[in-house]
């Protein structure tokens, strides 16, 4: 077996047999070091720009790749060395898989259910999570996706909430695709407030956010992406897209993926999230969609209360290991 090699910025070297992001991406994402065991596994580590965590100094392990023929002991060596790098940098806990922060790819699929992969969903070989457990990691946070197959449903209890919101000057409109840059600014303005209490939240510059989502303009159906406003200022949004993974499998695209739902905090906006979600699903029904996937929700937040008769179809796990 070859020796484990540590690459520090900017002298990164990729193992072409394992894949992963290009060197330019590693540098742009602020990777501090890369741990590589040639032909077996590799991972990036962050400590300078890792998310904050009360009572801990966090380190992050992401960009994880491993050969299908690798064994658990060899992969455990790579993960153990990544933890050593983080501990030497002063970190007290490692989390992963997390590509630097939660604005990027993170989590492993740990229960697949009976549905195939959907658009924008993370994925990996089924053996990877077990390899992390064998290396001393344990579940840290849990997430899930759920399926709703009654898009035309209306919750009459929302009528009173909508009347109250309208009286407060709140309106709902479709995203303007021909002014997408401005719409991204609106979505960002809500996101940076609505998500700041999320697990491992990291602030993101608005220009970085715009660069990450600029390509979404090509896949947006305005009817499925709604913005709530008051006096011209955004107070909530829902962002959904057709499940284009169905088309890649040669199937009819009859499902929409609700990627993000966010509303500003405060009792004055109570009920707005459910109304946005219901409007989105009803718009999908009018367009001919038969189902909606509520994607990648945290198991402990209020998203579980938004889906009505939603059926859980997938589970995901973010892992953690104490660095002693």
Read off the pLDDT of residues 259-311 as tens digits, 9 standing for 90 and up.
999 999 999 999 999 999 999 999 999 999 999 999 999 998 655 555 457 99
Q: How far apart are CA 311 and CA 146, in angstroms?
A: 5
Give pLDDT, residue 253: 97
pLDDT(162) > 70: yes
Which pLDDT value is given to residue 305? 57
The CATH classification number of 151-308 equals 3.40.630.30
Average pLDDT (7-35) is: 88
Which tokens hold the place of 318? 């973010």
Q: What is the pLDDT of residue 2?
A: 63
The stretch 10-28 carries a mean pLDDT of 87
Residue 14 has pLDDT above 90, yes or no: no
Q: How far apart are CA 12 and CA 26, in angstroms?
A: 8
Q: Which residue has the tokens 């030497």?
A: 88
pLDDT confidence of residue 8? 82
> What pLDDT is recorded for position 7?
84
User: Is residue 127 scored above 60 in pLDDT?
Assistant: yes
Q: How does residue 16 score in pLDDT terms, banded at 50, 70 and 90? A: confident
Average of per-residue pLDDT values in the chain: 93
The whole-number pLDDT of residue 213 equals 87
Distance CA 306, CA 170 (A): 20
Q: Where are the domains of the chain?
A: 5-141, 151-308
3-state secondary structure the chain: CCCCEEEECCCCCCCCCCCCCCHHHHHHCCCCEEEEECCCEEEEEECCCCCCECCECEEEEEEEEECCCCCHHHHHHHHHHHHHHHHHCCCCEEEECECCCCCCCECEEEECCCCCCCCCCCCCCCHHHHHHHHCCCEEEEEEEEEEECCCCCCCCCHHHHHHHHHHCCEEEEECCHHHHHHHHHHHHHHHHHHCCCCCCCCCCCHHHHHHHHHHHHHCCCHHHCEEEEECCEEEEEEEEEECHHHHHCCCCCCEEEEEEEEECCCHHHCCHHHHHHHHHHHHHHHCCCCEEEEEEEECCCHHHHCCCCCEEEEEEEEEEEECC
pTM value surpassing 0.85: yes
| pLDDT score at 4 | 83
**pLDDT number for residue 107:** 98
Read off the pLDDT of residues 104-124 as tens digits, 9 standing for 90 and up. Answer: 999 999 999 999 999 999 999
CATH class for domain 5-141? alpha beta
> Rounded CA gap, 109 and 117, in Å?
10
pLDDT for the residue 10 = 76
Q: What pLDDT score does 87 carry?
A: 97
């Amino acid at each position: 077996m070859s020796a484990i090699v540590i690459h520090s910025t900017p002298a990164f070297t990729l193992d072409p047999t394992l894949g992963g992001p290009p060197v330019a991406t590693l540098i742009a994402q602020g990777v501090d070091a890369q741990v590589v065991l040639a032909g077996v596994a590799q991972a990036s580590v962050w400590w300078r720009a890792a998310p904050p965590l009360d009572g801990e100094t966090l380190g992050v392990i992401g960009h994880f790749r491993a050969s299908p023929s690798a064994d658990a002991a060899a992969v455990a060596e790579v993960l153990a060395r990544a933890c050593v790098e983080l501990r030497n940098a002063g970190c007290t806990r490692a989390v992963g898989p997390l590509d630097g922060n939660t604005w990027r790819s993170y989590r492993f699929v740990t229960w697949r259910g009976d549905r195939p992969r959907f658009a924008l969903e993370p994925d990996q070989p089924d053996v990877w999570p077990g390899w992390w457990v064998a290396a001393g990691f344990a579940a840290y946070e849990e997430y899930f996706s759920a399926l709703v197959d009654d898009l035309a449903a209306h919750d009459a209890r929302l009528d009173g909430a909508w009347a109250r919101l309208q009286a407060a000057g709140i309106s709902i409109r479709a995203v303007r695709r021909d002014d997408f840059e401005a719409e991204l600014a609106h979505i960002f303005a809500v996101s940076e407030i609505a998500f700041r209490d999320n697990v491992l939240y990291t602030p993101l510059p608005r220009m970085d956010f715009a660069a990450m989502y600029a390509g979404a303009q090509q896949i947006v159906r305005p009817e499925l992406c709604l913005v709530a406003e008051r006096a011209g200022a955004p107070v909530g949004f829902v962002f959904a897209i057709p499940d284009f993974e169905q088309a890649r499998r040669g199937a009819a695209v009859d499902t929409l993926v609700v990627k993000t739902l966010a509303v500003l905090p405060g009792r004055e906006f109570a009920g707005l999230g459910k109304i946005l979600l219901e409007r989105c699903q009803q718009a999908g029904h009018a367009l001919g969609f038969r189902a909606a996937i509520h994607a990648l929700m945290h198991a402990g937040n209020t998203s579980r209360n938004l889906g009505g008769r939603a059926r859980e179809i997938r589970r995901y796990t973010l892992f953690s290991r104490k660095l002693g």
